[in-house]
Amino acid sequence: MSPAFNLETCARPNILALEPYRCARDDYKDDGSNVLLDANENAYGPPLADAVSLTSAAADAGLDLLGLHRYPDPHQGDLKEQLCALRNTHAHTAQTLTPANLFVGVGSDEAVDALLRCFCVPGRDRILVCPPTYGMYGVSAQVNDVGLVKVPLTPAPEFGIDVPAVLAALDAAVAAPDYDVKVVYLCSPGNPTGAALRKDDIAAVLGHATFNGIVVVDEAYVDFVADQRTASLAEWVLEWPNLVVMQTLSKAFGMAGIRLGAAFCAAPVARLLNALKAPYNIASPTSTLARSVLGPAGLAAMQANRAKLVAQRERLIEALPQIPGVGRLRGGTDSNFLLYEMLNSSGEPDNAVALAVYTKLAEQRGVVVRFRGKEHGCLGCLRITVGTEDEVSRFLEALAKTLAEVRQ
């Protein structure tokens, strides 16, 4: 329990007073037999050019295209039940997550932005991030006119929270007369680090004696951590009212195209986030597909695909050091990507070499990775997503040839 957290004084007053958008279907649920004349929908349905073949193909995927003229469920109760079932491991608490602990949005980015709008006063408040980290935290802060406090992670390859430095930054914010830190964003496993953060370090930030703010743990890659029972801290929001845990179906579940993210949080925080979201923010096809992959068959397929990716990750870890010009693994192995140095002819990590390799791989050999050399602690580094067996084979061959050309 955070000694200083008080939702009534942490959240913006206009958000606390916000009355969420309501529709008639909040009061009268559609059971399939009602005549729905409340939402100005088109009663004749969508004008699909080839309705028969399209709807037949969609039906095979569990989608009802002919129902697209109706607005989706604004609450997504069934989907939230499945997300809770996925994360209720009781590894961190005896309590049980319920749909009241969830906000679902258009990818995790909607939750990132909603938290800023909920807790940060534009032009005054700030967020704290720990680089190297996901760039959208800073982008959303700038869009919302919210300041940025940066406390770098500890040096590679650990890339852990610098707890004394973070606590000192929060102390300074509490003492400052002209600004406050309202949200701390922690990425675990980190992007681009691939390293999971220590639970005790997160607890130290959550328990800061005078910090009246929210700690967000972004777990986009959590399904690649080895110990799946303890990997996610989602259910820990029941113990820490100032904790928000974000997740997505884009990574391990392979559903990036449907843009579905979730934020687990204490029920009072979830109520605020749900009050300020756009109405009907989760599309019906998105919800249907998400519920499918969270069902028994979908979970089994995800686990099988994850095992294949982990095997290819191990293959990369074994093969990459054998290629001349590849340096150290600089991050962890808790994700579906790896962070490796590219070396110059003197054996030193080199941004010029890494950038040249990145460019030549894409432009000459059709293999696209990510240059991360400008990130804190990532000198000369490329971030390499784990692909299929064939993709990894093509990448390893292309990298060896490209490094030989660049370093000659």
pLDDT computed for residue 54 by the predictor: 53
pLDDT computed for residue 375 by the predictor: 96
Query: Cβ(204)–Cβ(167) under 8 Å?
Result: yes
Tokens at 29, concatenated: 């649920």
User: Within the chain, which residues score under 50 in pLDDT?
Assistant: none
C-alpha to C-alpha distance for 1 and 109, rounded to whole angstroms: 27
Domains of the chain: 7-23+71-294 (3.40.640.10), 38-70 (no CATH), 299-407 (3.90.1150.10)
Helices 389-407 and 296-319: angle between axes, nearest 10 degrees? 30
Q: How confident is the model over 236-253, as pLDDT tens digits?
A: 999 999 999 999 999 999
Q: 355: buried, middle or exposed (CB in 10 Å: 19+, 13-18, 0-12)?
A: middle
Q: How many CB atoms lie within 10 A of CB 164?
A: 10
pLDDT computed for residue 364 by the predictor: 95
Q: 328: buried, middle or exposed (CB in 10 Å: 19+, 13-18, 0-12)?
A: middle
Chain-centre distance for alpha carbon 38: 36
pLDDT computed for residue 183 by the predictor: 98
pLDDT computed for residue 48 by the predictor: 66
pLDDT computed for residue 30 by the predictor: 65
pLDDT computed for residue 398 by the predictor: 97
Greatest Cα pair distance, the chain, in angstroms, is: 75
Q: How many CB atoms lie within 10 A of CB 36?
A: 14
pLDDT computed for residue 37 by the predictor: 61
C-alpha to C-alpha distance for 381 and 204, rounded to whole angstroms: 30
Q: How confident is the model over 304-317, as pLDDT tens digits?
A: 999 999 999 999 99
pLDDT computed for residue 26 by the predictor: 72
Q: How far is CA 201 from CA 106, 183, 319, 402, in A?
A: 29, 16, 33, 40
Q: 307: buried, middle or exposed (CB in 10 Å: 19+, 13-18, 0-12)?
A: exposed
Strand, coil or helix: what is 1? coil
pLDDT computed for residue 23 by the predictor: 74
